[in-house]
Amino acid sequence: MGYTIAEKIIKAHLLDGEMTKGQDIGIRIDQTLTQDATGTMAYLEFEAMGVPRVKTERSVAYIDHNTLQTGFENADDHRFIGSIAKKHGIYFSRPGNGICHQVHLERFSVPGKTLIGSDSHTPTCGGIGMLAMGAGGLDVAVAMGGGTYYITMPKMVRVNLTGKLRPFVAAKDIILEVLRILTVKGGVGKIVEYGGEGIKTLSVPERATITNMGAELGATTSIFPADEIARQFLSAQNREEDFTELLPDSDAVYDEVVEIDLSTLKPSAALPHSPDNVKTVEEVGPIKIDQVLIGSCTNSSLLDMLRVAEILKGKTVHPDVSLGIAPGSKQVFNMLADCGALGVLIAAGARILECACGPCIGMGQSPNSAGISLRTFNRNFEGRSGTADGQIYLVSPETAAASAIAGYFTDPTTLKDDISVTIPEKFLINDNMVEPPASVEDAHKVEILRGPNIKPFPVTKPLESVIAAKALLKVGDNITTDHIMPAGAKILPFRSNIPFLSQFCFRQCDEKFPDRCVINKQGIIIGGVNYGQGSSREHAALVPLYLGIKAVITKSFARIHSANLINAGILPLTFTNEEDYDKVSENDELELTDIRTTIETGSNKAVLKNKTTGDEITLNCNLSTRQRAIILAGGLLNYTKENG
């Protein structure tokens, strides 16, 4: 039996365990990346390990999220990250160099290598054949220190693409179709691998759009083959020596196969407030719009920008629409300027934003009250835009540009003139905004620069014998990390200050939750299906840890968040019978009896006593041997210190 692409990479990097579906495996990590919203905490964790220099082949620290500097906090974090990077062997991508995933794809991605990043959209680099996965900051810190990265061996899904996209139908429409079919929880515990004759029609940037939004499926990662198209991309980036052909074996076995005929796809949109709430633009109808934003790590490549410029050429943005455009990298920005496309965008009335995540993470450009905003981004969770009642639709750059001109939702296939875009054979190479680290000999001379907003990692303690606490919050299905720990311009500057952040925890669900935590000292959270989907932000675990949350009991968890809870020393448990969710109410007195013994003995069942109702509920405790040791120690940092 042959191997899939992902299985080949895993096999070559396997350090612990066996490649049996559903079993814990440990793999060697070649590269890491961080961004500034998660990076400060990740580097505080790395410092706490006492490792003098990273042990990966390449680690890069990007500044792309918290670039709106309305106070000292973000600038201080950037300075801290820059000094940490220089001292500990990490490359530093300065503010303005671009979005981490776009820059990493262009300049550092290598087929067949492993990459983890403290950002859930790290699978972007799967577009060139990397095994690239989002992870919590602490997992990234451990990998930088030479530690093994652990995942559950995933199932393999093949998405077989046939045919060819029609004009004005885009790669974004492909991943929206996959989301429509599989839903936001359909990829949990799986790697999505793309193949078929149809992939030969897709460039690396288009493939990267698809793997980027694979994060919204809940998938471990998504990946394309490293083929001739990948080689051409690396050659254009003057990195052909990084190319290695990587294809699935002809007799590779997949657990699931999805068939998509590209020629049948139509321009689509994800409606508020979920990436899998997908309809065709034709079905949505000519709704009046208020805002269009083009960019993010999903759709900010040179190819995307040139197509938008072709649609906008000689036209003017509708007077009722605000159009913002953010190129994904300095390379893209420079090349747009050199070829004249930037002038076209400006002439049409676009507002040119900096090369950063910006509005996608809630950093500016919030729509008007109840405003309808079309975005080429990857998430449209309620409130994420910064406007509580904003109506956010996810679309392709082609749909966005056509709609910006018309002033209402417009199917770009109705445009009269086809567009023709030619990508240069060679890209502009200028890495002057990537600072190399100090040499090993000079590292001791580098001073770490800390601002007053940077607070220590929360203290964790070994697991108690019994957890007795109230259910301080009960929430429903598909709770995102934005619900747990919101983003946005007002909160993101304090990502390195857990005590300050704690007052915003679950604000969107229940603004009194932090106060209840302070009063009760400790508590338990009850959740529904797919709890913790979305961003990889470990703050969604660290802040509840600070507030005294000891356990989270749900119907099911999203992969990264479950790992982050374990890393923080918070026990993730699931209902054996989902109907038992209804047997627990907020403020019920709960007890996890003999829970330390349960974890120590390896039992996969735990007992929850509801003292308020008298019910006794059986819970699943599906933890690996290593995860049990982490929980017993009180979190991954304690475990790492104890085990070296």
Q: What is the DSSP string of 354-409?
A: PSS-GGGGTSS-PPPTT-EEEE-SS---TTTTS-TT-EEEE--HHHHHHHHHHSB-
Judge whether 485 lies within some domain: yes
The one catalytic residue among 30, 36, 76, 119:
119
Does residue 278 share a domain with residue 240?
A: no
Judge whether 563 lies within some domain: yes
Report the C-alpha gap between 572 and 149 in whole angstroms: 19
The one catalytic residue among 104, 307, 537, 539:
537
Judge whether 99 lies within some domain: yes
The whole-number pLDDT of residue 60 equals 98
Question: Quick check: is 537 catalytic?
Answer: yes
> 633 CB contacts (<8 Å, ≥6 apart)?
462, 569, 639, 642
Does residue 172 share a domain with residue 52?
A: yes
Q: How is 37-56 classified by DSSP, letter by letter? A: HHHHHHHHHHHHHT-SS--S
Judge whether 627 lies within some domain: yes
Question: Quick check: is 65 catalytic?
Answer: yes
DSSP-derived letter for residue 135 is: -
> CA 436: distance to chain centroid?
25
The one catalytic residue among 30, 64, 304, 588:
64
Report the C-alpha gap between 266 and 170 in whole angstroms: 9
- Tens of pLDDT along 303-358? 999 999 999 999 999 999 999 999 999 999 999 999 999 999 999 999 999 999 99
Q: Which of 231, 263, 295 is the last residue of a domain?
A: 263
The whole-number pLDDT of residue 184 equals 94
Which helix (H) or strand (E) element contains residue 23? none
Name the phi and psi angles at 433, rounded to 5.
-100, 15
Does residue 502 share a domain with residue 396?
A: no
> CA 525: distance to chain centroid?
23
Does residue 117 share a domain with residue 66?
A: yes
Does residue 275 share a domain with residue 256?
A: no
Q: Provide the CATH number for the domain around residue 507.
A: 3.20.19.10
Number of domains in the chain: 3
Report the C-alpha gap between 410 and 286 in whole angstroms: 6
Q: 532: domain range?
A: 467-643
Q: Provide the CATH number for the domain around residue 312.
A: 3.30.499.10
Question: Quick check: is 290 catalytic?
Answer: no
Report the C-alpha gap between 590 and 474 in whole angstroms: 13
Judge whether 421 lies within some domain: no
Does residue 303 share a domain with residue 233?
A: no
Report the chain (644 residues): mean pLDDT per 10 consecutive residues: 96 97 96 94 91 97 92 93 98 98 98 97 98 95 96 97 97 98 95 98 98 97 98 98 98 97 98 97 97 97 97 97 98 98 98 95 91 96 89 98 98 87 93 98 96 84 95 96 88 87 92 96 96 89 96 95 95 97 98 96 96 97 94 92 76
The one catalytic residue among 13, 28, 65, 559:
65
The whole-number pLDDT of residue 457 equals 77
Question: Quick check: is 119 catalytic?
Answer: yes
Does residue 408 share a domain with residue 288?
A: yes
Judge whether 429 lies within some domain: no
Does residue 275 share a domain with residue 245?
A: no
Question: Quick check: is 535 catalytic?
Answer: yes
Report the C-alpha gap between 604 and 621 in whole angstroms: 4
* Edge-to-edge strands, sheet with 24-27: 14-16, 24-27, 149-152
Judge whether 80 lies within some domain: yes
pTM: 0.93
Does residue 231 share a domain with residue 101?
A: yes
Judge whether 451 lies within some domain: no
The one catalytic residue among 104, 158, 379, 495:
379
Amino acid symbol at 63 = I
Q: Which of 368, 394, 413 is the last residue of a domain?
A: 413
Does residue 200 share a domain with residue 277?
A: no
The whole-number pLDDT of residue 432 equals 98
The whole-number pLDDT of residue 318 equals 98
Question: Quick check: is 396 catalytic?
Answer: no
Report the C-alpha gap between 575 and 571 in whole angstroms: 13
Report the C-alpha gap between 263 and 509 in whole angstroms: 42
- Tens of pLDDT along 329-342? 999 999 999 999 99
The whole-number pLDDT of residue 644 equals 64
Cβ(520)–Cβ(489) under 8 Å? no
The whole-number pLDDT of residue 527 equals 98
The one catalytic residue among 535, 536, 556, 562:
535
> 153 CB contacts (<8 Å, ≥6 apart)?
10, 17, 18, 19, 20, 21, 22, 23, 24, 25
The whole-number pLDDT of residue 418 equals 75
Based on its alpha-carbon atoms, the radius of gyration of the chain, rounded to whole angstroms, reads 24
Does residue 282 share a domain with residue 226?
A: no
Does residue 153 share a domain with residue 52?
A: yes
Q: Which of 206, 228, 263 is the last residue of a domain?
A: 263
Parallel, antiparallel, or unpaired: how do β-strands 467-474 and 523-526 relate?
parallel
